[in-house]
Structure 1
Amino acid sequence: MRSTETGRTGRVEPSTWVGLALAVLAIAFVVQNRREVRIELFWLSVGAPMWLVLLLIFLVGWAVGALVRRRRARR
């Protein structure tokens, strides 16, 4: 089978390049933010790498956004 018959032309899609660029940026971010930070909330104090803290905050924000969007869709 020729590549044109299977739909594959050997070209890399722009979305693949964007994904690779984002992956490189994410790796650079983690490498540059490995220092441990202390997070204090009420009586709880936790130490973790900064990149991990920021990832957790991002995930919490994403979950809140998904819940709010789901609630609006029900109205």
Structure 2
Amino acid sequence: MSPKTAESGAKSGGRGRQLMTPSRIIVLLLAVLALIFIFENTRATRIRLLIPEVTMPLWMALLATGVIGALCGAYFMRRRS
């Protein structure tokens, strides 16, 4: 192996993308806490969206709101970059 090959291999190995960065760990922890909160609230509740009023489990309403928020956030972050 030539010196150039050995140097380039050492440089590229240390500069790859890390799988678990501190910010990803925090986001994962917040997502787990949000899911725990959602599934701890299981009682039925009345929800009104403009005119119709429906009765559904609170966890389903919270999960739907979270998914809609995540989709909106992903859409705006994709447009930004």
Q: TM-score, normalised by structure 2?
A: 0.52
Q: 1:29: Cα distance to partner?
A: 5.1
RMSD: 2.6
Tell me the equivalent position of 2:12.
none
One of 29, 34, 45 as aligned partner of 1:37: 45
Percent sequence identity over aligned pairs = 33
Of residues 55, 64, 69, the one that matches 2:72 is 64
Q: Which amino acid aligns with 1:45?
A: E
Give the SS at the match of 1:39.
strand
Structure 2: gaps of 5 or more residues: 1-24
Number of matched pairs: 52
**Displaced runs of 4 or more, over 2 A:** none
Where does residue 57 of structure 2 map in the other structure? 49
Distance 2:71 2:60 in 1: 16
SS of 1:62's equivalent?
helix
Aligned partner of 1:44: which letter?
Answer: P
